[in-house]
Chain A
Amino acid sequence: MSRALVMHPKDNVATVLEDVSPEQSVEIEGGDKTLTLSAKQAIPFGHKIALRKIRLSAKVLKYGEVIGTATQEISAGSHVHVHNIKSTRG
């Protein structure tokens, strides 16, 4: 069992606290309720995992704030990074 930390109740991503391998179970801490997800891909330490499905162009929330928008549909348990989200700043 690997661990990830969610920073704010509104967030749809959490930060993994160790390197996660595909199919590995990830326990999400810091949210309102305990949640366990299965990682869709390898996710390196410090990177983000999607807590639920994020639709194309939907806001990606961390710290309760918008850190970018999805450039493709992202399924729960997926690695969320520069390949599937982009900054809202020019």
Chain B
Amino acid sequence: MAQGKATPTFRGYRRPEGPPGGRNHLAIVSGMDNSNPIVRRIGSLVRDATPVNTSFGRALMGEDEAQHWRVMGHTAAHPNVGAAIIVSLEPKSANAIAEVAARTSPWMPIEAVNIQEIGGTLSTTSHVVELATKLSAHLASAKRVRCELGELTIGAECGGSDTTSGVISNPVTGMVADRIVEAGGSVIFSETLEIVGAEHLLARRAADRKTARRIIDSARRAVDYAESIGVDFIGSNPAPDNIRGGLSSIEEKSLGAIKKAGSHPIVEVVGVGERPKKKGTIFADAPCAGVENISSLAASGAQAIVFSTGIGNPIGHPISPTIKVTGNPRTARTMAENIDVDISGVMEGTMRIDEARDLLENELIAVMSGKLTTSELLGETELTVSRAALSL
């Protein structure tokens, strides 16, 4: 590596196939919004169960339904999950999600339960508690073993951005992303609206023409949609508060956001929650909002998410540990319990940028080896699936 440092390793859970996990969750996955209460209840009844709630899910059609099943199925089959129980209102969705999960992680014990057939809240709760208790005993014997940095896929997200994001926390995230890619791993970044203005520069970084075209098309679709609802996205960016913060053009704003993905060629573009086929720097065409975005990144297989924040955001993903990094000294102070890595010393002249990179990389290694993130400790975790269409 550039600085002559040995490539670090972490202690994770080796899977019979596919990438290793940094957690060994027994995931109780809700198939749709109406199943969330039972899933939450299982979380409080079975000590080691991790409830994974969702939004929507009922009466979806076409691509919307496929996207929902894909995101929930890929979340259940996540490398950080050792066994999963899908709980949904009716059999079709429960089985569809379990099928996606089984296809993705064939080694994983997966159960599909539906409330209508089992019959009501109490019977379903009792049935799932029984299943969960058995699976929990099965997971208890798992041991952590040495895993390579190159076996990692991280998600890079920025939320609550400010001037320090583009100058400090995003570039530092990008440096760690580059190290993982150089070791043979992947970084997935997304937030399509945030690449607009720099999509031509990003397309130049694409490994092939098809990837370049998909990057340009993703940005074009976002701008066209904004226009169709009366928003001139290009003309209104940078916004007045961005200009006050020192951003002079939409290119500059987008480049600051993109910086979190490092500098390597972009090898593939995926849709919301899709699993990439290639290794390296990957762009996911997914919305910017924090919870929607981390839900997509985790479903795409990110074993951990680096969440770069300026003004702060407490949220994390229930399955993919979410590491909050800030370069803003005020946020590091006022939202200390929500920040995992404080690199505001770069702002204050007490930390060099390469020291900040090492700090973030060490934290990522520690978290993948079992250290809990602030959002895990506080229970500040959430999942929501992006909608492809309006509800009817």
Contact = CB atoms under 8 A, between A and B. Distances in A.
Interface of A: 3, 5, 7, 15, 17, 29-30, 44-48, 60, 62-63, 65-68, 80-82, 85-90
B256 interface: yes
Given A65-B201, A81-B246, A87-B248, 18 more contacts: A3-B349, A5-B353, A7-B171, A45-B163, A45-B246, A46-B167, A48-B246, A48-B248, A63-B259, A65-B255, A67-B249, A67-B252, A67-B255, A81-B248, A82-B248, A85-B249, A89-B197, A89-B234
Interface in B313-366: 346-347, 349, 353
Contacts of B198: 65
B307 to A, nearest CB: 21
Contacts of B118: none
Contact of A89 (B163, B245, B251, B353): B251
A17 B246 CA distance: 11
A27 B132 CA distance: 59
B97 interface: no
A46 B245 CA distance: 6
24 contacts: A5-B168, A7-B167, A7-B171, A15-B163, A17-B167, A17-B347, A17-B349, A30-B353, A45-B246, A46-B167, A47-B246, A62-B255, A65-B198, A65-B251, A67-B255, A68-B249, A81-B246, A81-B248, A82-B243, A86-B249, A87-B197, A87-B248, A87-B250, A88-B251
Contacts of B250: 87, 89
Contact of A67 (B163, B248, B353): B248
Given A5-B167, A15-B167, A45-B163, A66 B251 contact: yes
A42 B168 CA distance: 22
B252 A68 contact: yes
Contacts of A82: 243, 248
B178 to A, nearest CB: 13
Q: Residue among B164, B167, B256 with the most chain A CB within 10 A?
A: B167
Interface in B193-221: 197-198, 201
Contact of A46 (B163, B171, B251): B163
B57 to A, nearest CB: 39
B197 to A, nearest CB: 6
Nearest to A62: B252
A63 B259 CA distance: 8
A44 B256 CA distance: 18
B167 A68 contact: no
Contacts of A5: 167-168, 346, 353
Nearest to B244: A44
List 5 tightest A-B contacts by C-beta distance, closest first: A46-B163, A47-B246, A87-B249, A46-B246, A67-B252
A90 B234 CA distance: 8
A87 B251 contact: yes
A7 B249 CA distance: 17
Contacts of B249: 67-68, 85-89
A45 B197 CA distance: 23
Interface in B257-284: 259
Contacts of B259: 7, 63
Contact of B251 (A7, A17, A67): A67
A29 B243 CA distance: 23
A44 B251 CA distance: 20
B125 to A, nearest CB: 52
Contacts of A60: 248
A68 B251 contact: yes
A71 to B, nearest CB: 11
A67 B246 CA distance: 12
Contacts of B167: 5, 7, 15, 17, 46
A15 B234 CA distance: 23
A55 B246 CA distance: 21
A12 B173 CA distance: 23
A46 B347 CA distance: 10
Nearest to A5: B167
